[in-house]
Amino acid sequence: MISFSPSEEQQMIVNVVKQFATDEMRKVYREADESGEIPARIIDAAWGLGFISSSIPEEHGGAGSEHSTITGSLLAEELAWGDLSMAMHTLCPTLVVLPILEMGTEEQKRKYLPAFCREKYKAATAALMEPRFNFDPYSLSTTARLDGGNYLLNGEKCYVPLAADADLLLVYATDNGSNQGFILEKGASGLEIGAPEKNMGIKALSTYELALKDCRIPRENRLGGKIGCDFNRIMNCSRVALSAMAVGVARAAFEYSRDYAKERVAFGEPIAARQAIAFMLAEMAIEVDATRLMTWEAAWKLDRKEDATKEASLVKMYADDMAVTVTDRAVQILGGHGYIREHPVELWLRNGRGFAAFDGMAIVYKEIQHYD
Amino acid sequence: MIDFELTPEEEAAVKVAHKAAEELFRPISRYYDEHEHESPQELIDTLWEKRGEVGMLSLSLAAALGIEELCWGDAGLMLCNPGPSLGGAAVWASGTPEQRDRFLKRFNKGKPKWGAMAMTEAGCGSDTSAITATAVRDGDEWVLNGEKIFVTQGKRALEDSDGIVVVWATVDKSAGRAGMKSFVVEAGTPGMRVEKLEKKLGIRASDTATIIFEDCRIPYENILGSPEVRKLDKTKTAGFQKAMATFDATRPIVAAQALGVGRAALDFVKETLEKEGIEIRYGLPRNKLSALERDVMDMEAHYKAAKLLTLRAIWMLNQGQPNNLEASMAKAKTGLAVTRITQKAVELMGPLGYSRKYLLEKWMRDAKINDIFEGTGQINMLIVARRVLGYSRDQLK
């Protein structure tokens, strides 16, 4: 039965996170962007809300509620509305927790999940992207080769968030032609973590390049053991999460520019009273809503364990474009003030621009399309 | 609980309508595009017989989904579908139980009938407050005078059947918007005639009539809503609110019509590519996609965005939630989306797109109306803008 209404529990989560984003994240986002650092208390407080441990089974120390991608989308939107860097930092451990939860072996769950149910934030991350313009997640250059009882990993990765602090690192590599995940623990031999990357936006989130040189890990550290993982499903979950965050960033920009347009007076009336501005805002509102509904639909399919490749990639592509358009319009509505770092809209534009670059969507070189 | 699963009844409604679209609409689609003003009598009779099955009488989700399918078949022919339609929707939205009974019951029996809505005039389209048609009370009657244009199914409602037309007229010009009222005129009422039928870019199977009212007398009880001219405040007037209540119900349905045309074009493109062995590779990074794949995915995404906004607006309507903002969002997005989707499809299909041998060029012409009728894209954007800004019509003109 079609319904667009979140459950009471979901609405409660949304309210709590919205409050947290307003009271905490929005107070420090500018300073964090300028300094490249997120105050630890914010991350700890976000962790304390218990969103990650809640879906870990009781036997592994969590609250044992069923993981819902829809709830995850609602949560991600609100966090990203607060600040994208902090949202990504907060949710970064899910890049390891969710694949282990859904696809890990019993031993992997037993070994790795309890650490995420403790009070203190536990950094963990995943390495997927590789530093080349035509990166394609379905043809990775990083390789995993069996050598006796071990896997040897070789390759280069980039945009790996929190790599320097992470206790666990899930590296995606091609293993006899199929993409698989490999669980690395901190300090694995042959793992070299580069200097923090400098990016246009999401500056408070530290990301790194990695080099894997004959990095040796035990055979049982392959995600899902012999069966392996469903790489496509992991990609689709990531697409949905990123789309939800794009909605959050765009909504922030829409709301701010809407309020500004009602305050700012030109030629004797608020600029919002002019159709040129009002129509931009109307379009922003429509696109934010449309993208949210598409995100929900893809999430719903994932929760039903159906193949959501089409829905997830369509919404991701749509959300990438929407985030840029909406945040750009917000800067435009503020005019010169939008360009100044006293207002947040320039930050949202820089952050919004990032979505297309993540998750293998290396749009920077979009012009280089080949015609089959 | 957020859910996108159709109920078995809704699934069934989609199936039935899709079958009708394939078997009854598509085969005669080109003929009635090229023979404008000819009536597809056989189809009309069949649809009238099947009307319960297709579920056209309600504004339910199942009905909306069915309408999308029928428009996938042919939007012009779908509009010929006998039933209460927009006129009926107005009675349904703002009539009393007695009026619903008196005016809508006819649609359950006898020969095919239509319900039409007469709002637009030569001098006013979107600005419905500028209506010049008048209604003057004379004892137990209202006397209507004026000329209405662009009345969809006007001729079928008034000349070809025992239908109704809901006419918008002012009872007090000095009262502006507050004086605007709607009246139900039944077929066969003296003092009213169909002056002409328009020739159009698309949806040619649908009749678009000019109706003239000259001292047309109707019973006093045929006014929808209160006859009182109340000036509550400048922005909210009873008469206008009634009109808006109707639009909130009809805009999502019209959006559903649009979706059908857009999807017809999208399906044509995808089927053609499939025949040529060209696959749309979802999930690939942008730099690996061809421009063609990007375009098709873009069309699909816009269709999906429009569809979900439409479903939400209809869902809210059926939940009894105010949906003025969401209905306009759906209508604005859908009209534009299908206009662009069909135009892009013609471009992508090259000679197949431009040729009248195929229906694609027709769908492009048909699609455009969705960006115009039942509120142009711009009017709907204006409503969305006012809503999100919390502005009245005086604050945002």
CATH number for the domain harbouring residue A142:
2.40.110.10
B277 touches chain A (CB under 8 A): no
pLDDT above 80: residue B232: no
Residue A77 within any structural domain of the chain? yes
Q: N- to C-terminal Cα distance for chain B? A: 38
Tell me, letter by letter, the H, E, C secondary structure of A73-100. Answer: HHHHHHHHHHCHHHHHHHHCCHHHHHHH
* pLDDT at A360 (0 to 100): 39
Residue A142 within any structural domain of the chain? yes
Adjacent-strand bridge partners of B211: B148, B194
Q: Both A213 and A313 in a single domain?
A: no
- Rounded Cα distance between B210 and B154, Å, is 8
More reliable by pLDDT, A215 or B246? A215
* pLDDT at A364 (0 to 100): 27
Q: Both A360 and A264 in a single domain?
A: yes
Asked if B309 and A281 come within 8 Å (Cβ–Cβ), the reply is no
The strand ranges marked E within chain B are 115-118, 134-138, 141-152, 164-170, 180-186, 192-197, 208-219, 223-224
Q: Both A99 and A177 in a single domain?
A: no
How does pLDDT run across B30-51, given as a tens digit for each residue? 999 999 999 999 999 998 988 7
Query: Considering CB atoms only, which of A278, A310, A315 is closest to B396?
Result: A278
* pLDDT at A359 (0 to 100): 62
Asked if B285 and A282 come within 8 Å (Cβ–Cβ), the reply is no
pLDDT above 80: residue B242: no
How does pLDDT run across A271-306, given as a tens digit for each residue? 999 999 999 999 999 999 999 999 999 999 999 999
Compute the average pLDDT of residues B163-171: 96
CA distances from B371 to A161, A178, B254, B380 (A): 45, 47, 10, 10
Residue A226 within any structural domain of the chain? no
Domains in chain B with CATH codes = 8-81 (no CATH), 92-224 (2.40.110.10), 238-389 (1.20.140.10)
Which residues 243-262 of A have a C-beta within 8 angstroms of B?
258, 261-262
pLDDT above 90: residue B343: yes
Q: How many CA atoms lie within 13 A of A35 on its CB side?
A: 8
Q: Which of A92, A120, A148 is the last residue of a domain?
A: A120
pLDDT above 90: residue B228: no
Residues in B closer than 8 angstroms to A232, CB to CB, are: 283
Residues in B closer than 8 angstroms to A300, CB to CB, are: 2-4
Q: Which of A95, A120, A145 is the last residue of a domain?
A: A120
Q: Both A133 and A114 in a single domain?
A: no
Q: Both A136 and A254 in a single domain?
A: no
Asked if B6 and A2 come within 8 Å (Cβ–Cβ), the reply is yes
Which residues 292-321 of A have a C-beta within 8 angstroms of B?
293-294, 296-297, 300-301, 309-315, 317-318
Residue A3 within any structural domain of the chain? no
**CA-based nearest distance B369→chain A, Å:** 20
What distance lies between CA A223 and its chain's CA centroid?
20
* pLDDT at B58 (0 to 100): 66
Q: Both A140 and A69 in a single domain?
A: no
B348 touches chain A (CB under 8 A): no
- Rounded Cα distance between A326 and A319, Å, is 10
- Rounded Cα distance between B290 and A93, Å, is 35
Q: What phi-psi label fits residue B215: left (phi over 0), alpha (psi between -120 and 50 degrees) or beta?
A: left
Asked if A286 and B294 come within 8 Å (Cβ–Cβ), the reply is no
* pLDDT at B286 (0 to 100): 82
pLDDT above 80: residue A370: no
- Rounded Cα distance between A16 and A23, Å, is 11
B392 touches chain A (CB under 8 A): no
pLDDT above 70: residue A372: no
* pLDDT at B130 (0 to 100): 86
Which residues 307-336 of B have a C-beta within 8 angstroms of A?
308-309, 311-312, 315-316, 326, 329, 332-333
Instruction: Dig out the tokens for B275 from the structure.
Output: 């025949």
Q: Both A270 and A349 in a single domain?
A: yes
Q: Both A281 and A352 in a single domain?
A: yes
Q: Both A194 and A249 in a single domain?
A: no
Q: Long-range contacts made by residues B348-351, C-beta under 8 angstroms, separation at least 24?
A: B348/B269, B348/B292, B348/B295, B348/B296, B349/B268, B349/B269, B349/B272
Q: Both A110 and A87 in a single domain?
A: yes
- Rounded Cα distance between B104 and B64, Å, is 19
Which residues make Cβ contacts (< 8 Å) with residue B94, sequence separation at least 6?
Answer: B182, B224, B225, B242, B245, B246
What distance lies between CA B154 and its chain's CA centroid?
14
A143 touches chain B (CB under 8 A): no
Compute the average pLDDT of residues A88-107: 95
Average pLDDT, chain B: 92
Instruction: Dig out the tokens for A134 from the structure.
Output: 């035509």
* pLDDT at B20 (0 to 100): 94
User: Apex CA B246: angle with CA B243 and CA B249, to 5°?
Assistant: 155
- Rounded Cα distance between A360 and B169, Å, is 59
pLDDT above 90: residue B374: no
Q: N- to C-terminal Cα distance for chain A? A: 41
Which residues 36-65 of B have a C-beta within 8 angstroms of A?
61
% of chain B residues with pLDDT over 70: 94
- Rounded Cα distance between A302 and A312, Å, is 9
Instruction: Dig out the tokens for A133 from the structure.
Output: 């313009």
* pLDDT at B69 (0 to 100): 97
% of chain A residues with pLDDT over 70: 96
Asked if A356 and B305 come within 8 Å (Cβ–Cβ), the reply is no
Compute the average pLDDT of residues A157-164: 94
Q: Both A99 and A140 in a single domain?
A: no
pLDDT above 60: residue A121: yes
Residue A371 within any structural domain of the chain? no
Strand A168-175 to A178-185 pairing: antiparallel
User: Apex CA B171: angle with CA B397 and CA B115, to 5°?
Assistant: 85
Domain that holds residue A185: 125-221
Residues in B closer than 8 angstroms to A66, CB to CB, are: none
How does pLDDT run across B270-301, given as a tens digit for each residue? 999 999 999 999 988 888 899 999 999 999 99
Question: Residue A58 maps to which CATH number?
Answer: 1.10.540.10
Search chain B and give the residue with CA nearest A71.
B2
Size of interface A-B (CB pairs under 8 A): 164
Asked if A1 and B385 come within 8 Å (Cβ–Cβ), the reply is no
How large is the ipTM? 0.91
Let me know how long chain B is.
397
Highest mean pLDDT among A130-139, B84-93, B94-103: B94-103
Compute the average pLDDT of residues B128-151: 94
The total number of structural domains that make up chain A: 3
Q: Both A99 and A132 in a single domain?
A: no
- Rounded Cα distance between A186 and B280, Å, is 40
Instruction: Dig out the tokens for A147 from the structure.
Output: 């050598």
pLDDT above 70: residue B152: yes
- Rounded Cα distance between A21 and A42, Å, is 10
Query: Considering CB atoms only, which of B283, B301, B384 is closest to A286?
Result: B384
Compute the average pLDDT of residues B131-151: 96
* pLDDT at A208 (0 to 100): 95
Residue A343 within any structural domain of the chain? yes
Q: Which of A67, A87, A120 is the last residue of a domain?
A: A120
Residue A372 within any structural domain of the chain? no
Q: What is the identity of the amino acid at A83? A: D
* pLDDT at B85 (0 to 100): 86
* pLDDT at A367 (0 to 100): 28
Residue A313 within any structural domain of the chain? yes
What distance lies between CA A59 and its chain's CA centroid?
28
